[in-house]
A and B are shown apart, each in its own frame.
Chain A
Amino acid sequence: MKNNPPQPRPSARATLDQKNRPKNLNLLTISLPINALVSILHRATGCVLFLMLPVILLLLQYALASAQHFETVLAILHAPVIKLMLIGLAWAFFHHFFAGIRHLAMDVHWMRTLMKARYTSKVVLVLGVIATLLLAIKLWM
């Protein structure tokens, strides 16, 4: 005589699994695909650029106000810390620029397969770094 153990009902089982399922919010264990990396960086750099708008306007206003103000702005921009921040801002701009062009290209159905998207993600990251390096060299020359 067979004595089957009672099977838990599916719904009960689901709640049990929901209680015991692993919480995997450790960001270090999640590997971001390169496409997702470029995408989230596009968003993050966009936010940074938006937050820097008043600073850019203020610098422009001072630089155009008078010769004295212009010299002050130059002196501020020549401080090493500010230079580093400027390079960070430049990278944000270049990344947003190149990643944006990539998104536009995909909107018109260029480079749309997964392999091509991965390849263009790498191109975008490299172009952003190269443009930033060129600017950094120009700033320190």
Chain B
Amino acid sequence: MLIELLTKRYPGMRAWLMQRLTALLLAIYSVMALVRFLLLQPNGYEAWVDFFQPCWWRFASWLFWVSLSIHAWLGVRDVFKDYVPNAHVRSVLLKLLVVMLWLYWAWATWLLLV
């Protein structure tokens, strides 16, 4: 039954679950970032670059941004669904949202690769 609810026939359930899963990842990364910041106490440019140097941290940050994109898409989509009654305006806004999130994703990926 539970598995059945997560198939393509129930996209709402999938969205619901994705929002929760990405929320968990975002929360875990946020706590990790805070702990790392308090442990390393980066002071100055060199320390700040070192903070973002480790490969695993870059990968974690990248995963964070992927989760953030999905989470923001679902969240803002719900806001549009609730407050934008005009279907045409809403569909334009949703497309704009997707384009912006892809751009941010590319930007973040580039920042973490360089």
- A residues engaging B (CB < 8 A)? 43, 46-47, 50, 53-54, 57, 60-61, 63-64, 66-67, 70-71, 93, 97, 100-101, 104, 107
CA distance A57 to B100 in the complex (A): 13
CA distance A67 to B49 in the complex (A): 10
Given contacts A57-B104, A57-B108, contact A64 B79 (CB under 8 A): no
CA distance A131 to B47 in the complex (A): 25
| A57 CB contact (under 8 Å) in B48, B52, B107 | B107
Give the number of A-B contacts (CB < 8 Å): 44
Of B45, B104, B111, which is in contact with the most chain A CB atoms at under 10 Å from its CB? Answer: B45
Classify chain B: how many residues form its interface, as a range: 20 to 34
In the complex, chain A residues whose CB is within 8 Å of the CB of B44: 70
In the complex, chain B residues whose CB is within 8 Å of the CB of A70: 44-45, 48
Given contacts A57-B108, A60-B111, A70-B45, contact A50 B23 (CB under 8 A): no
A–B Cβ pairs within 8 angstroms, 27 of them: A43-B75, A46-B72, A46-B76, A46-B79, A47-B76, A47-B79, A50-B75, A53-B72, A54-B104, A57-B104, A57-B107, A57-B111, A60-B111, A61-B111, A63-B48, A64-B48, A64-B52, A66-B45, A67-B45, A70-B44, A70-B45, A70-B48, A97-B27, A100-B23, A104-B20, A104-B24, A107-B20
The 4 closest A-B pairs by CB, nearest first: A70-B45, A67-B45, A50-B72, A46-B75
In the complex, chain A residues whose CB is within 8 Å of the CB of B104: 53-54, 57
CA distance A54 to B49 in the complex (A): 20
In the complex, whether B91 has a CB less than 8 A from a CB of chain A is no
CA distance A91 to B47 in the complex (A): 26
- B residues engaging A (CB < 8 A)? 20, 23-24, 27, 30, 44-46, 48-49, 52, 68, 72, 75-76, 79, 104, 107-108, 111
In the complex, chain B residues whose CB is within 8 Å of the CB of A61: 107, 111
Assess the A97–B30 pair: CB atoms within 8 A.
yes
Task: For residue A100, give the distance in angstroms from its CB to the closest CB of chain B.
Answer: 5
